[in-house]
Chain A
Amino acid sequence: MGNSKQVLYFNSIPVVLPEDTVYSRLGRNRFLNKMTEVQKSLMGKYIAEGIALCHPAGCWLRLNIVERNAASVTLENGDMLNSASLAELLASSQALLLTASTVGCGIVEASAAAAVAGEGVKALVYDAVGSEMADEAIGWIHSYVGQQLKRSSEKLTRRRFSPGYGDLGLENQKIIYDILNLDKLGIRLNESLTMVPEKSVTAISGIEKS
């Protein structure tokens, strides 16, 4: 893998979403749950419609870590990410991977419209499909980068972090947003540092020698 500091964008990520992941997100206990054929068919229909409403896109960038301590890491572009958990995750990493994905606003709008129309199941399933598709899209980018890294005897850390979780404050969302120029994916950041469209995800992983 080279050292280019150019963000690589994917306009259309080929996400294959297993139905099971949507059921899991919706809290189905597959050992206990019982559904009628009609219910299964309705769920399948909404999941398929939801998938068609998603347009997964994403991007990634590799940045070297130039300085670190127990509570933060500093990147080659001068940005600093403050989080003890993240610093611990990146303890053996010489670089990190910033990734982002979104599925666009179509699914969010359709879910909201369904909720307004009183179609609760549809709204709920669309929402779950949107979330899972955004997660799968990030997963796809990680698989792609992971495969590329193999050739330079490197690998990604197994875990990844997202702003707003643990001690990685949501203010880091702005840093990632700016570095990855997420405007290019049609994502904006509101005053509460929430990404719009809602079904958008960012993540940080470490790049280690294998």
Chain B
Amino acid sequence: MTRSEFQKLLTEKIVILDGATGTELVKRGMPQGVCPELWILENPSAMIEIQQAYRAAGSDIVFVPSFGANRFKLEEFGLAGRLAEINRSLAGLSRCAVGDGLVFGDLAPTGKFIEPLGDIPFEDVVNVYKEQVAALLEGNVDGFVIETMMDIQETRAALLAVKESCELPVMVTMTFDEHMRTLTGSDPVSALITLQAMGADAFGCNCSTGPGDMLEIIRTMKPYATIPLIAKPNAGIPKLVSGKTVFDMSPSAFAGYVPELAAAGINIMGGCCGSTPEHIREMALSAARCKPVPPVITALSAVSASRNYCLLGKDKPFAVVGERINPTGKKALQAELREGKLAMVNVFAREQAAAGASILDVNMGLSGIDEKEMMVKAVKMLGSGLPLCIDSTSSEVIEAALRIYPGRALVNSISAEKSRLERTLPAAAKYGAMFILLPLADEGIPETFEGRKEIVEKVFCEAEKYGYSKADICVDGLVMTVSSNQNAARITLDLIEWCSRKFGVNTICGLSNVSFGMPQRAHVNNTFLAMAVGRGLNMAIANPAAEMLMPVVDAGNVLTGRDLKMKRYVEKYGAAGQGCKTVAAVKSDDPAQHVFNCILTGDEESIAGAINKALASGITAKDIVDKSLIPAINRVGELYDCKEYFLPQLIMSADTMRKGFEVLEPLLEENKSENDKPKVVIVLATVEGDIHDIGKNIVALMLRNYGFEVVDLGKDVSARHIVAAAGKHNAAIIGLSALMTTTMVRMTEVIQLAKAEGLDKVKFMVGGAVVDQAYADEIGADAYAPDAMEAVRIAQRFTP
């Protein structure tokens, strides 16, 4: 069957697949724990009976029972050596069962995970699938199905294996949970964008849910699908009945969903776990009464990563392509890349995402490094975040990155240069990437709008030969610096307007070029951006954290109608305004009250200013402490006790208190009297053998903020060291922490040693996840502190 014959079939009717195989085999005696593929070959009549029943019920396509017949799976049963024979024979068996019906070779998860999730190289998995594909082709299959996939990267490997082996049609289905995610976190739209761009002939979902839940997944995908959609649901949700898993949806109830599935845009349907030939019969009868809904679009402007996607276009929000992952002019990044490290790349990715980037440009071009190796490494690391824009002048680097990128990338860039058209363009097309069309040729950059327009048309014409449409490209306005040519901005703006309004493609611009050599570059950049948005620009390569850039973008989305009902703008800036109001609400004209409020809300930023203002108004340092700080922190304690505050808020207030004291301390020192008591010393430690110290650290912080002098000895501290420190610092209290049952016993050692060393006046306070009051009593500790606040209160009680 050719791919076009497959597509033609789908225009004529809703194509019916088969139903469950595993549960039907068990009904026919297949025992647990055996290799199903081998059992089928040893008991062929069972499989023939099942597939003939499905065919008779109305299945247009049956799947070869080769689900687990890949090398990795067969190895588990010691059958890898028989891989070719098993696949070939299974295909022959299905052919024999259904005669002139269509037989699709079935590829499914290998059970291994590809780097970086697992330790199997991507190419190894492609080869494992290729081996299976070759054997199934020998068995004369009509096409392929890649099903029950949980990981987008493994799905890509299987799809590439088929595409690189034959021209037959290939359907892909993945398994999504109730949150509409695959096990490795892909959502249906991201997966659809990636796989349809790579050449899947149909995409959808199977297993995991019943037909009702699948409806939602299909409705989510349909607006973005350029290919037919598939649903192969279970016969309902599995239930445990008398200790057995049962799928209890009847055939008629199952088929009852068919009209809704068809209306939602399903073109291919079948059944998964628990479905039977009777389910398929009812489904086929119902489907015959429904008209197939073809894909609603023929091309889609969108890029994706394994767990994210970004829609592009004149009616979609403006997309900022974060430009910072590029070593040019960044010495620290260059040094890191030369050491083979990517920590800064990770930080740049995170920061740009937080600042509002929709896509991340990745450029690893640096002399003295292996650009391809570093690009592949970066793409592996960043593949699950925002969609990537692969930026290189080397077609080899771009192809290597595209091969392992688990999404649909944007390639930066393809121009009319011979090498780009001959090498980069076919590579981009193979992996279905979108690309940035750069209006330059081997002769250079045309200085006129007409010259650039000509190149755009020429490159697009070449791209069409590889199946590209206008939705798949973004033309770079290629702005030059106005400091050397004041017409530069105008030429670019004219090209942007023509591309977006007449030619009908996305437009993009490397924003910062325009202001090169100018003072106050942000002014020029942002004004140019606003002007370009007005002429139709819908993407920019820029630093999203640059001054005022995102506000211009966000406001531009409102003014050009890309932000429907101004929802995004109001959410972003309205929320910020509200945040200010919340803070403002706790401010007060009374300086003492303002200090109090700062502590109450843990406002570290404002406390120093508030205290200085209070001092300037004539309030003494001692009064600020006694009448604002201490009452406020006590109020925080009360709020914590009644659960209006939780631990982080308690600490925020305590941290604010400490900052306040830092301001006041020099003044308090000046007015210190001889009667003022020295600070009480508390020695804290996590006992020997125990490495958990967050609880102890929080207690230390709280005690310090309440005016105690804390000697924190750290974690895994011996009894001898703790007792020696207590003696040396004349500690009033020793606080001990332990999290493990195996280490809490060390607390006794400390108490006993302290007594033996004559530290009779020292009080012991203990705490930690496994410690309780009874244990504290048992080992002779003076108190048990269940949390940091209580530790403070105990310390205050011990040292009145």
Contact = CB atoms under 8 A, between A and B. Distances in A.
A143 B181 CA distance: 12
A3 B76 contact: yes
B263 to A, nearest CB: 30
A61 interface: no
Contacts of A11: 115-119
Contacts of A155: 245
B697 A33 contact: no
A118 B113 CA distance: 41
Contacts of B575: 37
B643 A32 contact: yes
Contacts, number: 169
A3 B118 CA distance: 20
Interface in A85-144: 92, 111-112, 115, 118-121, 123-125, 127, 140, 143-144
Interface string A25-58: 0111100111111110111000010001000000
Contacts of A111: 694
B44 interface: no
B582 interface: yes
A125 B694 CA distance: 10
B419 interface: no
A119 B656 CA distance: 11
B340 interface: no
B77 A33 contact: no
A34 B646 CA distance: 9
Contact of B742 (A35, A120, A193): A193
A177 to B, nearest CB: 14
A120 B651 contact: yes
Interface string B174-185: 010000010111
B695 to A, nearest CB: 9
A10 interface: yes
B689 interface: yes
B701 A210 contact: no
Contact of A121 (B75, B119, B655): B655
Interface residues of B, number: 73
Given A14-B307, A38-B603, A192-B743, A118 B117 contact: no
Nearest to A16: B185
Contacts of B603: 38
B336 to A, nearest CB: 16
Contact of B689 (A14, A36, A37, A191): A191
Interface residues of A, number: 64
Contacts of B35: 2
A131 B243 CA distance: 34
Given A33-B643, A33-B645, A39-B649, A2 B73 contact: yes
B740 A36 contact: no
Interface in B180-221: 181, 183-185
B116 A12 contact: yes
A115 B691 contact: no
A164 B185 CA distance: 32
A8 interface: yes
A101 B674 CA distance: 57
Contacts of A119: 655
Contacts of B184: 14
A10 B118 contact: yes
Contact of A147 (B175, B601, B658): B175
B601 A38 contact: yes
Interface string A160-171: 000010000010
Could you say which of A39, A121, A147, A198 has the most chain B C-beta atoms within 10 Å of its C-beta? A121
B364 interface: no
B578 A37 contact: yes
Most chain B beta-carbon contacts within 10 A, residue among A35, A42, A52, A111: A35
B741 A164 contact: yes
B645 A194 contact: no
Interface of A: 1-4, 8-14, 16, 23, 26-29, 32-39, 41-43, 48, 52, 92, 111-112, 115, 118-121, 123-125, 127, 140, 143-144, 147-148, 150-155, 164, 170, 190-194, 196, 198, 209-210
The 9 closest A-B CB pairs, nearest first, are A2-B76, A37-B579, A192-B689, A115-B697, A120-B651, A127-B694, A210-B245, A12-B116, A120-B701
21 contacts: A2-B35, A4-B76, A8-B111, A14-B117, A16-B181, A33-B646, A36-B579, A36-B582, A37-B579, A38-B579, A39-B649, A48-B350, A119-B655, A120-B698, A121-B655, A123-B697, A123-B698, A124-B651, A125-B648, A192-B690, A192-B743
Given A48-B354, A118-B658, 12 more contacts: A10-B118, A29-B643, A33-B644, A35-B649, A36-B579, A36-B586, A38-B582, A39-B602, A124-B647, A150-B238, A170-B741, A170-B742
